[in-house]
Amino acid sequence: MKKILYSTMYSFKEIKNSKIFYSFLIFALILISGSYFVSQTSFISQGRIMVDFSIFAITIFNIFIGIFIGSSIVYDDIEKKSIFLSITRPVKRTEYLIGRFLGLTAAIIFSTVIMMLIFYFVLLIMHKYVIPLKPFAGQPTIYSLPQPLIIQALFIIIESVFIAAVALLFSLITSKALASIFTILVFFIGNVSSKMNDLVRPVKKIIGGKIVIVHQANHALTNIVHIIYAILPNFSIFNISSEAAYKIFISAGTVFYRIVYGLSYMVLLFIISSLIFTRKDIS
């Protein structure tokens, strides 16, 4: 257990000092601060534009971190042979893999928190979307973000770590470049699959007291879409930016269900990665 913890800390340090992580983080921070200027181009609902824009930036950069660092965190370690000294210590390969993955998870949490903090300060300065809380009478007011925005941040973390698990798995069976491409594909399909699934559903109408199918897509196509929808992860459930923009409260049940979905899928992917990794020749 201790070894996993040290491994996690070391991997986190390694990622934190890497150029790719830095550049993504800095880029996102520039965009978030820039969202202020973007919102100024509009006269109405400036706050909503800011939220949309910033949430998009935070999501996309964390997804990038998940994809690119996820596909290189073990792959590069093998390629550069720096893995040789760590897994020839008395550690199990799974322990090493968990350490690497948790290190990346920590990095994603770290970057999301920093981005959210900057976002919070921008909102605070603009006095938009922040909710004043008065904990005790006479005390200075504390401003909080609305609940859907906080949930959105949590979902971004889950989604990015999830994507990282996909990238890690791919990077163990193909090259780094292919792993990134496949992960991007899975991410893309995972975002549109639920919409596609709705599109190919038969359109039914009640005509004269009977249910009649007025339109039915090609059966083969329908089945393929259904299978893709069922098997590939559904990432669209982690995108609640419109709820966030309209400050719609997210129920605890929804949050719980989506987190459990993300975590269990991730654990499954990780177990497969671990099985592949323990059987792999590292040379």
Partner 1 sequence: MIELKNTTKYFRIGFFGIKKNAVENLSLTVEAGKVTGFFGPNGAGKSTTIKMIVGLVHPSNGIIKINGYDSMDYKARLNLGYLPENPSFPRGLKGIEIISYYSKLLNKKIDKNEIYDALKLAGIFYAKDIHAHKYSKGMTQRLALAISILGDPEILIFDEPLSGLDPIGRKEFKDIIFKLKERRKTIFFSSHVLADSKELCDKIAVLVNGRLIKNEGITAIEKEAEGYTEAKLNSSKNHERTPDTTKPEQDKDYRLIAEYNTPLEVYLYDLMRKNKKN
**Minimal distance, residue 186 CB to partner 1, in Å:** 25
Residue for token pair 């129920």: 251
**DSSP-based helix, strand, coil % in the chain, nearest 5:** 75, 5, 20
- Tokens (6 digits) for 268: 């499954």
Read off the DSSP letter of residue 237.
G
| Site membership for partner 1, residue 87 (CB under 8 A) | yes
Element (H, E) at 87: helix 83-87
67 and 163 Cβ atoms separated by less than 8 Å: yes
Element (H, E) at 114: helix 93-126
**Candidate residues 7, 171, 241, 274; the one interacting with partner 1 per rule CB under 8 A:** 7
Of 85 and 137, the one with the shorter C-beta distance to partner 1 is: 85
116: closest CA among 64, 155, 169? 155
Q: Which is nearer to partner 1, 93 or 128 (CB)?
A: 93
Judged by CB, which is closer to partner 1: 139, or 281? 281
82 makes contact with partner 1 (CB under 8 A): yes
- Please, which of residues 62-81 interact with partner 1 by CB under 8 A? 77, 80-81
Of 2, 210, 215, 219, which one interacts with partner 1 (CB under 8 A)? 2
In Å, how far from its chain's centre is CA 137?
A: 39
Among 6, 121, 188, 257, the residue binding partner 1 under the rule CB under 8 A is 6
- Indicate whether 90 belongs to the interface with partner 1 (CB under 8 A): yes
Rule CB under 8 A: choose which of 1, 44, 85, 214 binds partner 1: 85
Which of 26, 84, 131, 144 lies at the binding interface for partner 1 (CB under 8 A)? 84
Structure tokens at 216: 């039915």
Count Cβ atoms below 10 Å from residue 207 Cβ, excluding itself.
9
Nearest distance in Å: CB 172, partner 1: 15
Residue 191: CA count within 13 A, CB half-sphere:
13
Q: Among residues 80 and 215, whose Cβ is nearest to partner 1? A: 80
For residue 223, count other CB atoms closer than 10 A to its CB. 11
Interaction with partner 1 in 240-279: which residues (CB under 8 A)?
A: 279
Site residues for partner 1 per CB under 8 A: 2-3, 6-7, 10, 13-14, 17-18, 77, 80-82, 84-92, 279, 281-283
